[in-house]
Amino acid sequence: MAWSTRGARTRFEVSCLGDSLTSGGYTFFLSYMLGRDVTGLGVGGQKSDQILERYRARQVPGGILAVWAGNNNFDDPERVEADVDAIAVLHGNPGKLLVLGLVNGDYPGRRIGEAGYQKIVDYNSRQAARFGEHFLDIRAALIARVGGNNPDDILPAKIRKDKIHLNMWGNWLVARLVYSRLKQLELAS
In a domain, 138, yes or no: yes
For residue 9, the model assigns a pLDDT of: 60
Write the pLDDT tens digit of every residue in 107-120: 999 999 999 999 99
Domain range for 50 is: 14-184
Q: What is the CATH number of the domain that holds 34?
A: 3.40.50.1110
In a domain, 8, yes or no: no
pTM: 0.93
Write the pLDDT tens digit of every residue in 22-66: 998 999 999 999 999 999 999 999 999 999 999 999 877 779 999
Give the whole-number percent of the chain exceeding pLDDT 90. Answer: 88
Total domains in the fold of the chain: 1
In a domain, 88, yes or no: yes
In a domain, 2, yes or no: no
In a domain, 5, yes or no: no
In a domain, 6, yes or no: no
Q: b or e along 5-44 (b: 16 or more beta carbons within 10 Å of the residue's beta carbon)?
A: eebbebebbbbbbbbbbbbbbbbebbbbbbbbebebbbee
In a domain, 61, yes or no: yes
